[in-house]
Structure 1
Amino acid sequence: MPACPCLARTVIDTPHSILQHVFGYHAFRGEQEAIVGHVAQGGDALVLMPTGGGKSLCYQVPALLRPGCGVVVSPLIALMQDQVEALRELGVEAAFLNSTLDAEAARQVIRDFVTGNLKLLYVAPERLVTQYFLDLLRNAPVNLFAIDEAHCVSQWGHDFRPEYLGLSVLADEFPVIPRIALTATADHATRLEIVEKLRLQGARQFITSFDRPNLRYTIVEKQKSKEQLLTFLRREHEGDSGIVYCLSRKRVEDTAAWLRTQEIRAFPYHAGLDASTRAKHQQIFLREEGVVMVATIAFGMGIDKPDVRFVAHLDLPKSIEGYYQEIGRAGRDGLPANAWLAYGLNDVILLSDMIAQGGSSDEQKTVEKRKLDAMLGLCEATACRRQTLLAYFGEAAQPCGNCDNCLNPPKLIDMSEAAKMALSCVFRTGNRFGVGHLIDVLRGKKTEKVGELFHDRVSTFGIGAKVHEADWRAVYRQLLACGALQLKPGGMGGLELTDAARAILRGEQPLYLRERTQKFSYKDRDSEFATAADRELWQALRRLRKELADAQDVPAYVIFSDATLKEMVRQRPADHYELGRLNGVGDRKLDKYGDAFLRAIAASH
């Protein structure tokens, strides 16, 4: 019996034959082939690969090669359902066990698992470590364990999940079954913790590049953030699917409602919504095109929608790891996508206060503050964004030529004198006031608070009247970023000087700020198609894909990805052989959809 029974007429007993005939790809990418070979031969592995880099194939192909069933530990129901739908469409016997199944459906999945009728089974970590399921595993033909989103095991990471700690039981109970742990976001410390907590000391490590060359990074200073977002969407992403992240539930609701008034089809998603509403909105986002999901970070882990064309942040993320994982949901199909972020000083103050007032240990708070400082440093960087981002993960890179700083190199202004004034004002007013009050003093605004505190009598009152308020906010943000100022313990946004302020006050360390401008990169939406006929065929193929998807109640990308449709437009295959040579067209899909798509292509001539 071949490794994938759906293709009984084809001998599928090598990694390349499975890659081609089942998944429709003609070559592995990067380290995929080495990982597949290592795991297929029974080796343990730790795989660090960027989102969209093809992590799933690293365990799916070995599971199809080896006798038995691969068990995939996945943290979210949405990810399980997405991957199982896609695998079944390829003809692979896959299933999931989670709370969405009724009792009879769950029993049937268990029967198929134990009797060897499945090739891949997806389960949540909390289910896997129950005694009942461990007993099942002992009686089932398990051929490997894949632990997805493995960074969740790290207590110092950005997305710790206590239930992941129990997965170390696999090393004790099933020592001869290969285990592969996979993640897209793990710095050196997190990798060490994954190895320790999951008992993978003997595993071979495959650390690939963090680079996502198809993503364009743009980071702007908040002015009127919703209007800035709308301008970005109108200019670059009219009709595209995307995600907008906000820090609070209220901001999610307000932003989604406002976008709808601007005739953008937007839906909110956050933990405060009831489960049925969240599921409904997620289903709309996954199944339909041109939908914008406005969400807190409760949304997104494991979302497998490949045609997300942008991820926008209306608030500053808490860490570079979190930011990297969130923007990783854009452009999973390898086509161009945008990562856009608007941030401001108030974001820094709010997140710092959240850290200070949280229930974490002092050690954890120090780690969280360091991560926030690094995130702010990325925003304030005037060099290539990609270089700065990759350097955080210990990776060197050349300037990308595709981020905002590379496309529109910022003009830097020497603000050293303003920095001295800003620091002096903090000192003269007592090392305890927030930015708003300090700017009022510097600009000579005699507010009620300034008068009551006699701050109109300090030497810094009015000395910065000629500097724009937005520039003062940028100066204070930079001083926080470089460590010359820190937020005073106890919240309320008060600032105090640190030892690092001395070098700036003495004139030993200059401070340069980017000129305050709002520049946008433009995308010619039709430039990828050479002719009007190509554009018409592209739309015809998308319509056909949607009809087929709706008839089967699956997301459109499960039929064919955007990347595959664009290959059809470029290559215009005339028969099954030519169509089958395109990436993403495996044997099952060729048989099922080949005639319909070939007819659509022929009709366009």
Structure 2
Amino acid sequence: MSHTALDVLQDVFGYDSFRGKQYDVIQTLQQGGDALVLMPTGGGKSLCYQIPALLRPGTGIVVSPLIALMQDQVDALTELGVQAAYLNSTQDWQTVREVEREFLTGQLDLLYVAPERLLTDRCLNMLARGQISLFAIDEAHCVSQWGHDFRPEYLGLSLLAQRWPEVPRVALTATATAQTRAEIAQRLQLEQAEHYVSSFDRPNIFYRIVEKKEVRRQLLAFIQQEHAGDAGIVYCLSRNRVDETAAFLAEQGIHALPYHAGLDAAQRARNQTRFLREEGVVMVATIAFGMGVNKPDVRFVAHIDLPKSVEGYYQETGRAGRDGEPANAWLAYGLQDVVQLHRMISESAGDEMHRRNLAQQVDAMLALCETTSCRRQGLLAYFGQQIDACGHCDTCVEPPESWDGTIAAQKLLSAIFRLWRERGQRFGAGHLIDILQGKRTERVLSNQHETLSVFGVGSDLSDQMWRSVLRQLLAQNLIEVDSEGHRTLVLTETSRAVLKGERRLLLRRESSSGPAAHKVKSQRAQEPALEGEDLRCFEVLRSWRAQVAREQGVAAFVIFQNATLRAIAQQRPAQLSDLDGITGIGAHKRETYGQALLDCVAAFQKQNQDQLMPSAALE
């Protein structure tokens, strides 16, 4: 084994240099210190604990929340020549006993364990009998009780500090607010740990948010026009929505699969395996899917319902473009989404403070959707990072028009006020819009709302425009959904200034385009262009990789990522030494696959020359 971190990086993982704060984290752990690491998805968090685990004596214990993630990580490490294994509920007792034996005899460099298993007496006793190089707690935000991925079993991981005070520990996550970071440090007893907070920015992701109209048609148009044949994830709020959307996309010829907690475990596992190992699969899922999914070539993440929080949204969109190549984050939302989320909050377990916190998270997500400024600025500001306008989101590419919505807002606020003041009544968005537009519906007439002074005062605005006004007033906390879950709208303390004309409101003007169209096209996520012979050679290499992956029962990217194959296609190596320096080819992979790669390239070169010979002879 190599003796320095850089040696391991180059010889084992096949990378030339460290990125960002990777080296600083590795040094801290190598020297026995603790660390709390925030690094965006695709930023190389795994190397931060894998390399010091290889450098320090003993086995690195990695706490990982997902079985699928463990298997992917172990498959990838095994391909690199690293001795890695995992313990989880899918294994029979003979396999478990063999893994335990390998750990106790010092044969493992890394051992992945689910938090539930780690906290059992059997596992703790086993760990106490072996030598541990470090503890890595992945997806550490799961310890936050305010967070979107809270897992109660993570709270028990504080005992690692008590039972193994001399073993360095590192907690890692992709996104966390200052509040979440403080909670991670406190609950995992990492108050004295070094904090390494990298930029949260994912510049390769193009962010676009659109108004929800015929959302399935909008989604279909987005996929067909911009991501035909690409792997992607579509997030929905409910299980029924997942099933319906997956079936709809499949009927339209898209390779779509469902994933949610209502499916049996075997079906979920099959669908996840197909998503990871087959190309061009679109997974339609609830947020039960995604955390830690190790698939680098996801080209888009779409949301067809409003996410519950900015933190959750950023975690989910971060699953696109882990390979650093262009990817898209697309979200469609509507006023009904906001009302639905507030209803769910009113029915949720927990005390009033907890429900208030959840409501504030929804409000922050709505504000992000309704912003007229750079999306990325708003996202990163939520995590305490300030940047200039990114130039790589819909509001930067085509800044939205604004209009003076003060009078419209006053009309809407007056309608809510008069219904409550004069009739003691509260209603939802649809009925309020009917009153403002002067519609004599059965409900309007039965309540004699046509006699209100505000009846018909808003006939100059369309239904779509009024819904836009409503959303923006919600986003600016000028109205709110009532806290009792009745889906009605009420005034807030800040409404008074607008009603009295003391505050002017500039509102965002919505696009008038049809349900499948939108002026701003997010940038087509494509790999760097290869042409001519380079492209044909790349496709030959991809076919070879797919065959090897099928034979070994692993995902194609575990063998080599696309970036490595592109470099080979462009350089056309003729001997093993020519592979040195190509990203993703370490010593073990060169030894395992080097000759096969050379043979593949040589066969392509010969076929290419043979095809050219007839035309040359004619000359």
Q: What TM-score, normalized to structure 1?
A: 0.96
Structure 2 letter corresponding to 1:480: L
Structure 2 partner of 1:575: 575
State the alpha-carbon separation in 1 of the partners of residues 598 and 94 from structure 2.
41
Matches within 5 A, 1:490-569: 490-507=484-501, 508-517=503-512, 518-521=518-521, 523=523, 528-569=528-569
Q: Is the 8 A contact 2:397 2:520 kept in 1?
A: no
**Structure 1 CA distance, aligned partners of 2:522 and 2:321?**
17
Q: Secondary structure at the match of 2:451?
A: coil
Residue 4 (structure 2) aligns with: 14
Pick from 462, 480, 483 the counterpart of residue 486 of structure 1: 480
1:235 maps to 2:230: no
Q: Please state whether the residue corresponding to 2:369 is helix, strand or coil.
A: helix
Match of 2:458 among 460, 464, 481: 464
Structure 1 match to 2:97: 107
Counterpart for residue 614 of structure 2: none
Write out per-residue CA displacement over residues 173-218 of structure 1, whole angstroms, 9 at most, x where no aligned residue. 1010100111112111111111111111211111111111111101
Would you say the 8 A contact 1:414–1:513 is kept in 2?
Answer: no
SS at match of 2:135: strand
**Separation in structure 2 between the aligned mates of residue 538 and residue 458 of structure 1, nearest angstrom:** 70
SS of alignment partner, residue 72 of structure 1: strand
Question: Bigger shift: 487-496 or 52-61?
Answer: 487-496
Residue by residue, what CA displacement relative to the aligned partner does 1:576-596 show, whole Å, maximum 9, x if unpaired? 223231111111111222233
- Cα 1:525–1:534 shift into 2, 3 Å: farther
Distance 1:503 1:511, change over 3 A: farther
Which deviations, in whole Å up to 9, do the C-alpha atoms of 1:9-43 show, x marking residues without a partner? Answer: xxx11101110111110100000011111101111
Quote how far apart the aligned CAs of 1:130 are: 1.7
Answering whether residue 282 of structure 2 is matched by residue 288 of structure 1, we say no
CA gap 1:167/1:62 in 2 versus in 1, 3 angstroms: same
Q: Of 413, 430, 444, which residue of structure 2 is paired with 1:436? A: 430
- Per the alignment, do residues 536 and 416 of structure 1 end up closer, same or farther by CA in structure 2, a change over 3 Å counting? farther
Deviation at 1:526, TM superposition (A): 6.6
In structure 2, relative to structure 1, the CA distance for the partners of 1:82 and 1:23 (3 Å cut) is same
Find out whether 1:75 has 2:65 as its counterpart: yes
User: Are residues 247 and 552 of structure 1, via their aligned partners in 2, closer, same or farther at CA, if it must alter by over 3 Å?
Assistant: same
* Superposed CA offset, 1:371-390 (max 9, x none): 11111111111111111100
Cα deviation code 1:211-260 (max 9, x no counterpart): 11111101111011111111111111110001000000000000000001
1:570 Cα deviation from its structure 2 partner: 3.9
- Shift of residue 429, structure 1, vs aligned partner: 2.1
1:84 matched to 2:79? The reply is no
Counterpart mapping for 1:146-225 below 5 A: 146-225=136-215
Counterpart of 2:126 (choices 110, 133, 136) is 136
Q: Distance in 2 between matches of 1:311 and 1:355?
A: 25
Instruction: Give the direction of change, closer, same or farther, for the CA distance of 1:565–1:222 in structure 2 (3 Å limit).
Output: same
Tell me, yes or no, if structure 1 residue 600 matches structure 2 residue 603: no
Contact 1:526 1:535 in 2 (8 A): no
> Are the counterparts in 2 of residues 79 and 304 from structure 1 also a CA contact under 8 Å?
yes
| Structure 1 residue 523: Cα displacement | 4.3
> Which is worse superposed, 569-578 or 306-315?
569-578
Question: In structure 1, what residue type is equivalent to 2:592?
Answer: K
Q: CA deviation at 1:169?
A: 0.6
3-state SS of 1:429 partner: helix
Amino acid at match of 1:446: R
Go from structure 1 to structure 2 and tell me whether the alpha carbon gap of 1:47 and 1:425 turns closer, same or farther (over 3 Å shift): same
Which residue of the partner structure matches residue 588 of structure 2? 588
278, 289, 294: which one pairs with 1:304?
A: 294
Q: SS at 2:13's partner residue? A: coil
Give the secondary-structure state (helix, strand or coil) at the position aligned to 1:573.
coil
**Change in 2 beyond 3 A, CA 1:137/1:514:** same
Partner SS for 1:341: strand
AA of the residue aligned to 2:476: C
Once the two structures are overlaid, the 10-residue window that deviates more, 127-136 or 59-68, is 127-136
Q: Could you tell me which of 330, 335, 348 is aligned with 1:358? A: 348
* 1:522 Cα deviation from its structure 2 partner: 5.4
Q: Deviations over 1:491-537 (max 9, x none)?
A: 23100111111122223231312332422325467783252333323
Which letter maps to 2:12?
A: V
**Matched residues in 2 for 1:391 and 1:489: separation?**
27
Asked if 1:398 corresponds to 2:360, the answer is: no
Partner-residue secondary structure (3-state), 1:282 = helix
Mean CA deviation greater in 21-30 or 535-544: 535-544
Contact 1:73 1:125 in 2 (8 A): yes
Bigger shift: residues 582-591 or 85-94: 582-591
- C-alpha separation between the residues in 2 aligned to 1:27 and 1:362? 50
Letter in 2 for 1:200: L
Measured in 2, the distance between the counterparts of 1:534 and 1:419 equals 59
1:238-290 Cα deviation digits (max 9, x unpaired): 10001000000000000000001110000000000001100010010011000
Asked whether the 8 Å contact 2:32–2:167 carries over to 1, the reply is yes
Please say if residues 382 and 514 of structure 1, whose CA atoms lie closer than 8 Å, have aligned partners that are also in contact: no
Encode CA deviations 1:517-570: one digit per residue, 9 max, x unaligned. Answer: 422325467783252333323322221211110111110000111222233334
Contact 2:328 2:525 in 1 (8 A): no
Amino acid at match of 1:281: N
SS in structure 1 of the partner of residue 450 of structure 2: coil
Shift of 1:141: 1.1
- 1:564–1:582 contact (8 Å) kept in structure 2: yes
1:210 and 1:527, CA in 2 relative to 1: closer, same or farther beyond 3 A?
closer
Cα offset, 1:51, TM superposition:
0.8
Match of 2:392, SS state, is coil
Mapped to 2, the partners of 1:492 and 1:168 lie a distance apart of 41
Residues in 2 aligned to 1:532 and 1:384: alpha-carbon distance in whole angstroms? 38
What's the TM-score once normalised by structure 2's chain length? 0.94
Question: In 1, Cα distance between the equivalents of 2:458 and 2:573?
Answer: 67
Rounded Cα–Cα distance in structure 2 between residues aligned with 1:546 and 1:213 = 29
1:278 aligns with 2:273: no
Conserved in 2, the CA contact under 8 Å of 1:334 and 1:563? no
Alignment check: 8 A CA contact 2:404 2:504 kept: no
How far does the alpha carbon of each residue in 1:377-407 deviate from its partner, in whole angstroms, 9 at most, with x for none? 1111111111110011110111111111111
Name which of 252, 255, 262 aligns with 1:262.
252
| Amino acid corresponding to residue 249 of structure 2 in structure 1 | L
CA distance in 2, matches of 1:515, 1:552: 51
1:598 Cα deviation after fit? 2.9
- Structure 2 alignment gaps of length 5 or more: 513-517, 609-619
Amino acid at match of 1:597: L
In the alignment of these two chains, the number of paired residues is 595
Is 1:41 the counterpart of 2:31 in the alignment? yes
Per-residue CA distance 1:77-135 (angstroms, 9 max, x = gap)? 11111100111111111000001110000000000001101000000111112222111
Residue identity matched to 2:510: E
Pairs within 5 Å for 1:443-462: 443-462=437-456
CA distance in 2, matches of 1:365, 1:419: 27
Tell me what 1:421 maps to.
411
Question: 1:293 Cα shift?
Answer: 0.3
SS at match of 2:449: coil
Q: Is the 8 A contact 2:368 2:379 kept in 1?
A: yes
Counterpart Cα distance in 2 of 1:522 and 1:350: 28
538 and 411 in structure 1: CA distance in 2 versus 1, 3 angstrom threshold: farther
Amino acid in structure 2 at the alignment position of 1:173: R
Contact preservation (8 Å) 1:69, 1:144: yes
